[in-house]
Structure 1
Amino acid sequence: MLDPKVLMTIKDLPLVAKTVIDGFMNGYNKSTVKGPGLEFSQYRSYQPGDDLRWLDWRMFARSDRYYIRESEIETSISVRFLVDASASMNHDDGGVKKIDYARFLTASLAYLANLQGDAIALNVFQDGGLFSLPSRLDPQHLQRLYYNLQQIEPAGTFTKPIHYKELFAGNGRKELLIFITDMYQNGGEIVKLLDTLAALKHEVIVFHLMGQNELDFDFKGYSTLEDLETGQTIPISPQAKKQYQETLEQHIAGLRMALLGKHIVYKMLSTAQPLDEVLREFLVQRNKGF
């Protein structure tokens, strides 16, 4: 398992991505992780009339049976990564910030998408601004994505950009939108953005990042908490833990149901979770159609 704290010691983001994907691939035949949109391939037995171009000759050599690689029949798509870079993404849990985890997750998924032949794009949301790296498929573009991920410095609040519709309307090409955020919002800005993205008929997946200390209400030694975006402080006490966790559980359940109603896939992640474990669970679920 790849502990995020261990990954923090690796300064080179491309190396982080390769390390995570190599760890994820461990125990899997690489040919079974091949297909558009970060999906596992599925093999089925050859049937008369099938296109012989999709026969997997290596599988035949191993098993003496004919198999078709179903997912390779599909065309590649564009995988667009949307990263929340508001100030709350600076939340730290044991030396791992949410924005660092977002960087690692985005870099790893981009590496895998590029490996599979999918075009990749990056958008960074920060204080009303929107940085955009267009969708392309080439190794140099992957390096550009790494570079821009590394430059992110969270600041300000999450504000829905003015000109985002033109960007996400696209040119009619199918896109997979992967939004990595802590879902911290003052006036429903993130939910409103997701409403629009869902209406544009793209497939949308939301990774909701939370620190394990947030999930466990583990703030030993602190009597107050400060909002990283507004500067507002609130007192805390051990007695508030039960009510806090009940409220949080209801909040997460509400988010999941609201996004499910918009046909948006929701997955909450702790920044303490090993990245290869996250990828394995995510791609296995994706192969099953969630």
Structure 2
Amino acid sequence: MTIRPDFLDELDRFDAALDRETAALRQGEQESPRVGEGLTFSDYRRYSPGDDTRLVDWKLFARTEEYYIKQFEEERNLTVHTLLDASASMDYGEGDAHKFEYAAKIGLGFCYLTAEEHNDFRFSTMGERVDRLDTGRSNRGEVLALIDQINELDPEGQVDFETVLSAYADQIRSRSLVVVVTDCLAEPEEIESGISALARNDVDVLLVRVVAPDERDPDVVGDALFADPETDTTRRSYFSQSLVETYQSRLDAHVDEVKSRVTALGADHVLIDTGDEYFDSFASVWLG
């Protein structure tokens, strides 16, 4: 992967509020988006690299020569969980349109702005199991460390949506937003079962489906060898225009069915094309 951390700076142009009209949980019920205003002091914790220095208690530093961060009640009001599909099918696309890289930046953007809101985030990859990558610091330094880890990953294997999402749901202990970023290449029933396990009164779910331009409009004509990256199976076929149209129709039907099933559960569904400009896509996901 080749994710560069400087994309985080551009995210500052977005309003640092979880502003989705249909998701009160996602808004975190905070009284003010500005640091230190309308917040109730709760406790101190030691400073970690990447923390907002505006929250350092300098009077306490003068007495102890130790850096401590002021914590506020709203810091623990909402936890944002990002689950990134790291299966082999995500290893598709070229350059900035690469599905895994694009999807990772969507998830990292949520983590970055969540930290700016002084809320907690969790970042995990999902394949045959869920692997948590963050260390619980929920600050900019943590996001930078996550970028380094993701750049070392190679998508592989498959995702059992029902199993991994059900297992993860059992770990959620607080008011939460769960952001699942995936290409949804599974049966709609399996995705529905996984999202159903996550969705409950104190958990808001957002399913972000990524699709690459070549998946929506294949640039293939004539004899072609198709390979399934998750099972290593191949199939040779003559890809005629009529077959292209059939394929596109089935893809559209799959997208519509997944959306219908998850929205019926009260979850949100957003489709993004990795060929679009990243910040336009992120805005459509973040702002709704």
Residue in structure 2 matched with residue 194 of structure 1 by the alignment: 195
Alpha-carbon deviations, 1:13-57, whole Å to 9, x = none?
Answer: 3223224x14xx1xx6xxx4335877599999xxxxxxxx649xx
Query: Take 1:38 and 1:142, find their aligned partners in 2: how far apart are those partners?
Result: 20
Residue in structure 2 matched with residue 245 of structure 1 by the alignment: 248
Residue in structure 1 matched with residue 235 of structure 2 by the alignment: 233
Give 2:235's aligned amino acid.
T
Residue in structure 2 matched with residue 260 of structure 1 by the alignment: 263
The answer to whether the 8 A contact 1:88-1:228 is kept is: yes
Secondary structure, aligned partner of 2:199 = helix
- Per the TM alignment, residue 180 of structure 1 is displaced from its structure 2 partner at its CA by 0.5
Query: Take 2:28 and 2:38, find their aligned partners in 1: how far apart are those partners?
Result: 15
Pairing partner for 1:279 from 269, 279, 282: 282
User: RMSD between aligned alpha carbons?
Assistant: 3.4
Give 1:129's aligned amino acid.
R
The answer to whether the 8 A contact 2:205-2:267 is kept is: yes
Secondary structure, aligned partner of 2:102 = helix
The answer to whether the 8 A contact 2:165-2:195 is kept is: no
Q: How many residues end up aligned between the 2 structures? A: 243
Give 2:252's aligned amino acid.
E
Give the 3 Å change call, closer, same or farther, for CA 233–179 of structure 1 in structure 2: same
- Per the TM alignment, residue 260 of structure 1 is displaced from its structure 2 partner at its CA by 0.7
The answer to whether the 8 A contact 2:124-2:131 is kept is: yes
Question: Is it true that 1:34 corresponds to 2:17 in the alignment?
Answer: yes
Moved more, 256-265 or 158-167: 158-167
Query: Take 2:224 and 2:26, find their aligned partners in 1: how far apart are those partners?
Result: 44
Task: Return the TM-score normalized by structure 2.
Answer: 0.71
Give 1:249's aligned amino acid.
D
Moved more, 101-110 or 32-41: 32-41
Secondary structure, aligned partner of 2:252 = helix
Query: Take 2:3 and 2:252, find their aligned partners in 1: how far apart are those partners?
Result: 36
Identity %: 19
Residue in structure 2 matched with residue 140 of structure 1 by the alignment: 141
Task: Return the TM-score normalized by structure 1.
Answer: 0.71
Give the 3 Å change call, closer, same or farther, for CA 205–234 of structure 1 in structure 2: farther
Give 1:87's aligned amino acid.
A
Residue in structure 2 matched with residue 64 of structure 1 by the alignment: none
The answer to whether the 8 A contact 1:33-1:39 is kept is: no
Query: Take 2:188 and 2:278, find their aligned partners in 1: how far apart are those partners?
Result: 31
Residue in structure 2 matched with residue 223 of structure 1 by the alignment: 224
The answer to whether the 8 A contact 1:85-1:99 is kept is: yes
Residue in structure 1 matched with residue 179 of structure 2 by the alignment: 178
Structure 1 residues without counterparts, runs of 5 or longer: 1-7, 45-52, 56-71, 286-290
Residue in structure 2 matched with residue 15 of structure 1 by the alignment: 6
The answer to whether the 8 A contact 2:191-2:258 is kept is: no
The answer to whether the 8 A contact 1:40-1:283 is kept is: no
Give 1:88's aligned amino acid.
S
Give the 3 Å change call, closer, same or farther, for CA 136–202 of structure 1 in structure 2: farther
Structure 2 residues without counterparts, runs of 5 or longer: 20-24, 40-71
Give the 3 Å change call, closer, same or farther, for CA 242–134 of structure 1 in structure 2: same
Residue in structure 1 matched with residue 211 of structure 2 by the alignment: 210
Give 1:239's aligned amino acid.
S
Secondary structure, aligned partner of 1:79 = strand
